[in-house]
Structure 1
Amino acid sequence: MAKKYFQIGQLVCEKLAERFGTPLLMLSLDEIKKNYKVLKKYLPRIKVHYAIKANPHPEILRVMADMGSCFDVASDGEIRTLHDLGIEGGRMIYANPVKTGAGLAACRSCHVSKMTFDSASEIDKIKAQCPEATLLLRLRIDNSSAHVDLNKKFGAARENALALMLQAKEAGLDMAGIAFHVGSQTVSSDPYLHALDIARELFEEAAAAGLQLRILDIGGGFPIPEPKVKFNLPEMLQQINARLDEDFADTEIWAEPGRYICGTAVNLVTSVIGVTERGGQPWYFLDEGLYGTFSGVLFDQWDFKLISFREGEKKVAATFAGPSCDSLDIMFRGRMTVPLEVGDLLLVPSCGAYTSASATTFNGFSKAKFVIWERVKAEVEPSAQTVK
């Protein structure tokens, strides 16, 4: 069965735009909870570490903390953000394989001891600054089908893995396990199963060398709905879970979902603020652009869905641009749409990941305002709208 996801309707959009203005981001905390529960249902053994880089909104962090989640952090800023919310360092993993001095200092002051590494130089840094650290070796897993292939930048090669783990042990560090990330928006279990095969081999090789590993971190990469892409998430998770039970029955299992937790939890409402024609094609200027929520077009290569409530069967290929005075600020070219007018609203569902997190105030434009859906839905509509 296809997973239902959060999406508001036309009347709600109009009421919200009238009340709060646009651009506006609607965040559903119930959707965050639902996504977390789905992962725990199909992968019951995992200890979730929410990758807060995907969306560090304080309300998301509080909800995840209340549900028992741990957190994947990548910088001193993320560590201190969680610390200031009262989340203890024992619930964080410093999962950036290349650490800054400020990051390691934050680990010391906020009592973060779990971290990943993928090179010998990191062992020296960690030994010098956080000698009590518990380490996981980040393993490189090739997956060209991933939406974002993180392994182009991070991860130790398979042939170097055992030597690096033994070097960490010899340095007196707690060499505890292996971590991998198959890449963002992975829609098949195959890359995970391949990674688990390699991890199993390394666990056995480490044991033969006198190193007993006890933790396996399977990363993130779980998919969310996007245009023209289909997948069976329950089946995919069940296959991963079966392999975990078969090959890692006595191992502590961690995961680092980001996009999956927050991606479907946010809807953007944006307005058409300008209409013109260039090269025989209509151009529509929106009050949100590449420097705002649509930053995901540039940094995440995401193809956002634009929903218009204007009726009409005739569609035209149009260009959609943002409000800034930068010619780079163009989100879509040749996007099919019904003809639009100034003042028309557009709805952008499933835009909770890698959007507002990378938004800026370039050119003096404010970031889109967040509103919590559960706090206003009773005023704008008796029941929330969802779609399949």
Structure 2
Amino acid sequence: MAHAHSVLNFQSFAARTLSADDIRLVESAVSQFGAPLLMLDCEIIRQQYRALNNALPNVTLHFALKPLPHPVVVRTLLEEGASFDLATSGEVELAAQEGVPAERTIHTHPIKRDADIRDALAYGCSVFVVDNLNELAKFKPYKDEVELLVRLSFRNAEAFADLSKKFGCSPEQALAIIETAQAWNIRIKGLSFHVGSQTIQPQKYVDAIQTCKTVMEEVVARGLPALSTLDIGGGFPVNYTRQVMPIEQFCEPINDALNELPETVQVLAEPGRFIVAQAVMSVASVMGQAEREGQMWYYLDDGIYGSFSGLMFDDAQYPLVTLKQGGDLLPSVLAGPTCDSIDVIAEDIMLPQLENGDLIVGCMMGAYTSATATDFNFFKRAQTIVLNEDAFSEDSMNQERLIG
């Protein structure tokens, strides 16, 4: 199972510190539930949602379930007034189970099975995304029930994931789709795009918005019904091991570009990582150790087949902290628990001498971690502990609940 993946290096290690309260909370949770754990703080989810909502005041935020499709995340954001971005029948089912009103959802997977369309429509979600004529034809039987967004492609080599490589069409193709939809009596509601995950420069959004504005003007020039919606996707950056632009500053040029659109255009966004990445800490314990080629190898009870799956699938680099302080620092490696040799989390790092049972905490572990974790080698994935599920107050601080 030899796959290439990136591991953390010394420069990215120990980028965060934990407060005394954090340390007590981690130790209490491990004492109660064991390790490995994921500690999900609902108050951080609220704070992140509010920060982005304030930074994009005229944009309706549809949380993308993909990075952390967890019932408590859905409930927390629903209470905040969020809308939701769904991409699969499983996500439709989760939204329905948690009481999300269907009118506050959109279905944005550009390539769907007929069953996916039927499941979403049965729930009441009627806004879908297409990026080609083959996909458009799937909606002929449902033309009286749906409104579609046409997704444009904007390549971004700088992003964690260049999502326009797999999905999206050119402006010319978009116009052809819109003209064909008119002939087939299928309503096109607007346009959408996604400039890529963890986009560092807001200019990518500005360029995409300006191109979409031009397409919207051409639609009117061709005598087609005016488009009423623009979905600017997600990709808003968060701090892993390097600082990114504060979200208020990041969104300023985006807002300026959006202000150039006609007032009749409703703007949506699909944030995922920005909302949940910061909200989860992982806790793993040392289950064994050995000296190999001059380095101490510490084997943790969580690894890349578990909560650190983002090292393989997401190209993320998570700040790590050991609770043990003091003593000489030794060249070290952190490895996961499985029998696979690629299950290595961090190499060439300097750590104090650790003992079996010592704890390693990973920060920024909310996005694409538990969502892509496996039970490979029959090592069960980490349990999730929920903090501050009730609205934040002194009474609700530090409450814990095991939810699986």
Q: Compute the TM-score of the two structures, normalised by the length of structure 1.
A: 0.92
Structure 1 residue runs of 5 or longer lacking an equivalent are 384-388
Q: How much identity, in percent, do the aligned residues show?
A: 36
1:167 aligns with 2:167: no
CA spacing shift, 1:87–1:381, aligned 2, 3 Å:
closer
Aligned to 1:386: none
**Which residue type is aligned with residue 148 of structure 2?**
L
Where has structure 1 moved over 4 Å in runs of 4 or more? Answer: 4-8, 375-383
Aligned to 1:361: 375
Q: Secondary structure at the match of 1:9?
A: helix
Aligned to 1:11: 24
Deviations 1:368-387 (A, max 9, x none): 1111122699799889xxxx
**Which residue type is aligned with residue 158 of structure 1?**
P
Q: C-alpha distance in 2, partners of 1:236/1:321?
A: 36
Aligned to 2:279: 265
Q: Secondary structure at the match of 1:246?
A: coil
Aligned to 2:201: 188
Q: In 2, are the aligned partners of 1:17 and 1:24 still within 8 Å (CA)? A: yes
Q: In 2, are the aligned partners of 1:140 and 1:180 still within 8 Å (CA)? A: yes
Q: C-alpha distance in 2, partners of 1:130/1:327?
A: 52
Aligned to 2:145: 132
Q: 1:213-362 residue pairs with structure 2 within 5 A?
A: 213-312=227-326, 314-362=328-376
1:76 aligns with 2:89: yes
Q: In 1, are the aligned partners of 2:206 and 2:254 still within 8 Å (CA)? A: yes
1:30 aligns with 2:56: no
Q: Secondary structure at the match of 1:116?
A: strand
Q: In 1, are the aligned partners of 2:55 and 2:247 still within 8 Å (CA)? A: no
Q: In 2, are the aligned partners of 1:136 and 1:175 still within 8 Å (CA)? A: yes
Q: In 2, are the aligned partners of 1:138 and 1:156 still within 8 Å (CA)? A: yes
Q: In 1, are the aligned partners of 2:63 and 2:271 still within 8 Å (CA)? A: yes
Aligned to 2:9: none
CA spacing shift, 1:334–1:130, aligned 2, 3 Å:
farther
Q: 1:61-72 residue pairs with structure 2 within 5 A?
A: 61-72=74-85
**Which residue type is aligned with residue 291 of structure 1?**
Y
Aligned to 1:115: 128
CA spacing shift, 1:334–1:360, aligned 2, 3 Å:
same
Q: C-alpha distance in 2, partners of 1:335/1:130?
A: 58
Q: Secondary structure at the match of 2:307?
A: coil
**Which residue type is aligned with residue 258 of structure 2?**
L
CA spacing shift, 1:380–1:218, aligned 2, 3 Å:
closer
Count of paired positions: 381
Q: C-alpha distance in 1, partners of 2:356/2:396?
A: 24
Structure 2 residue runs of 5 or longer lacking an equivalent are 1-15, 400-404
Please report the RMSD computed on the Cα atoms of aligned residues, expressed in angstroms.
Answer: 2.5
Deviations 1:155-213 (A, max 9, x none): 11233221112112222111011100111111221101111111111111111112301
Moved more, 312-321 or 296-305: 312-321
Q: Compute the TM-score of the two structures, normalised by the length of structure 2.
A: 0.88
Aligned to 1:144: 157
**Which residue type is aligned with residue 272 of structure 2?**
G
Aligned to 2:13: none
Aligned to 2:7: none
Q: C-alpha distance in 1, partners of 2:156/2:245?
A: 17
**Which residue type is aligned with residue 181 of structure 1?**
H
Q: Secondary structure at the match of 1:166?
A: helix
CA spacing shift, 1:380–1:81, aligned 2, 3 Å:
closer
**Which residue type is aligned with residue 242 of structure 1?**
D
